[in-house]
Amino acid sequence: MRDRRFAGVGHDQHQDQQLLGVSGLDDQAAEERGEPQQVEEQQDESQCAPEANLDGHVAHPCHILVRCGGVSPMRFVDPVITQLLSAAEDEPAQTWEWLAKVEEAINGAFDPLASGVGSVIFATVPLFGTDAPLIVFWLVAAALIFTVYFRGIQFRSAKTSLDLVRGKYSRASDPGEVTHFQALSSAVSGTVGLGNIAGVGAAVVIGGPGATLWMIVAGLLGMCTKFVECTLGVKYREVHEDGTVTGGPFKYLPVAFDRFGAGVSKSMVGIFAVALFLFGAIGGNMFQANQTMAQAREVTGGDEGFLGSSGSALIFGVILALLVGAVILGGITSIAKVTSKLVPFMGILYIGTCLLVILGNFDHIPGAIATIVSQAFNPTAAGGGVIGVLIVGFQRAAFSNEAGVGSAPIVHSAVKTRHPVSEGYVALLEPFIDTVVVCTMTALTIVVADTNFYNEAVASVAAGGDAPDGVVVTSRSFETFLPQFPVILAVAVALFAFSTLITWSYYTMKAWTTLFGRSPASEMIFKVVFCLFVVVGATVNFTSVLDFADAMLFVAAIPNLLACYLLLPKVREEVRDFREGRRNGTIAEVPVAERTTT
């Protein structure tokens, strides 16, 4: 997930504006404090991707990336593209002044709406000296209740989950469009993102090393939420005549709320579809394109490089849109084929880089682990004591893996299977990969590297000072072993963003067809519009619109989790049937030649 939002605890309002892990020294915040703006580090804001925090304040990642430094890794570029970019770079700045006016007008119109919705969805309550976001409690409470209800099924099903991913119980002839592994890869590609890098960096500064342990706990609990919602997504899916599938909350919400009447049922589905569509079109699309463009610009020379103009941003957006279009035109089958190759590569690249740093500081590992455990129960960094650091860890996990939001069941419902709960077992691996593995690797890298920058940042925040950029915290840790990490970061951001783009195109299309009807023409119109949004996202940034879209993602979690509570007995029935089938032999391992695996 994009993870633009990350609110801290036990800090004043200005500190909370900086908790996501992206620019805490942006011009807007500086202006509010009456400080001079740092013009020399500033990019053209019409080209930068915005980052917003829980309270709706916006920061520009371009500012962060300037401070991360780096040199251009792009020595060889297609000559035609180079000529186009050079021509765009030479265009007068005034040619693109209308973009700034459009941004200003749209942001101004959306600002009251974004502020109003955000103040409700991300409302906080005082708890033991800290402010606790209610939406985090909503997500984590569901995960805990589901875990108790199913007696910790996520802790007892590792072998079953892995067997299912390997295709041991699925035939190529089973109804559906993608394999278990492809469904898992697609879902993971939609959650792993910049938040795993920047958001975690902020978490271990604000909450201290102890936030890592609570992040892991929340990730483990969230596994059961994914188990429940993805089982329901497959159970109530619709397999169309052409073999394509529509499932997820669009299909199980009507079943859950039908007992309250057609009006309530349709309203809940409508709220979910609109919320998911708005986030997908803006947050799952435009923001990703803008992040990719911003990072590419910085590692190719910033304003002085060949991606330094708005004209270059437009061309970059067109190229990115063409790449996205080439994948999404083939539907979920095409998306799954790409993500099943891309996600393992992304994981190896990033986790491998983390391991280089961790193993390079091998003698620090025992002390780092001891610090993480001790600081989880006796924190020195987070305001609010143990509760404060717990909330920091929980919200980082909740905002990262999207457990309970209802997005993942959409793609998991396309799996080839005759047993709905089989995909529940596969889906519970998703928060484990996203949070327990990727987020934890980032946190452990930061704690093990133990840089002066990190220690000074923790001390500063504990003393009531400002939180630094999370991406800088992470980058400085990697730079202790890899001086050219900004280049690796650029590659990682590009891969994370591209995979998120193509996966969220599928989620958003299902919301579109729910609202406007399913037909080949309707789906093609959506795909063209989605690609146009990629171009717009790479060129301009609508900060207030993005704030509004962020809130919409968590609006979707409200009807989705209510439906999950109502349908828990149905999930338990599926678990019993699957276990009984394995015991009596009606569900047996499929011969290797008949399996669907990749």
Give the pLDDT score at 7: 36
Q: What is the pLDDT of residue 429?
A: 95
Q: pLDDT, tens digit, for every residue of 72-102?
A: 333 334 444 455 445 444 555 555 566 666 6
d(CA 289, CA 164): 34
State the pLDDT at residue 573. Answer: 96
- What average pLDDT does the segment 314-324 reach? 87
Q: Are 9 and 392 in contact (CB under 8 A)?
A: yes
What pLDDT does residue 100 have? 64
**CA–CA distances in Å: residue 557 to residues 138, 438, 492, 511, 550:** 9, 23, 28, 15, 12
Alpha helices for 402-469 (secondary structure H): 408-412, 420-427, 429-431, 440-449, 452-462
Average pLDDT across the chain, whole number = 78
Q: Find out whether 275 and 515 touch, Cβ atoms under 8 Å.
A: no
Q: Are the C-beta atoms of 425 and 163 separated by less than 8 Å? A: no
Segment 402-413 mean pLDDT: 93
Report which of 195, 154, 149, 148 is spatially closest to residue 395, judged by C-alpha positions: 195
Question: How far are the Cα atoms of 189, 244, 455, 562 from residue 411, in angstroms, in the given order?
Answer: 11, 12, 41, 20
**In this predicted model, what pLDDT tens digit does every residue of 344-380 receive, in sequence order?**
888 888 888 889 889 888 888 999 999 899 888 887 7
Give strand pairing partners of 238: 246
At position 57, the amino acid (one-letter code) is H
Please name which of 420, 542, 483 lies closest in space to residue 114, comparing C-alpha atoms. 542
Comparing C-alpha atoms, which of 472, 5, 400, 440 is closest to residue 210? 440
Q: Which domains does the chain have, with CATH numbers?
A: 13-594 (1.20.1740.10)
Over residues 120-147, the mean pLDDT reads 86
Position 63 scores a pLDDT of 34
Instruction: Give CA 470 to chain center in angstroms.
Output: 16
Please check whether residue 597 is in contact with residue 178, taking contact to mean a CB–CB distance below 8 angstroms: no
Task: Tell me which of 71 and 554 has the higher pLDDT.
Answer: 554
Q: How far apart are CA 95 and CA 24, in angstroms?
A: 31
The per-residue pLDDT for range 16-42, each reduced to its tens digit, is 333 333 333 344 434 444 444 444 444
- 26 three-state secondary structure: coil
How many residues are present in the chain?
A: 598
Q: How many other β-carbons are positioned within 10 Å of the β-carbon of residue 244?
A: 16
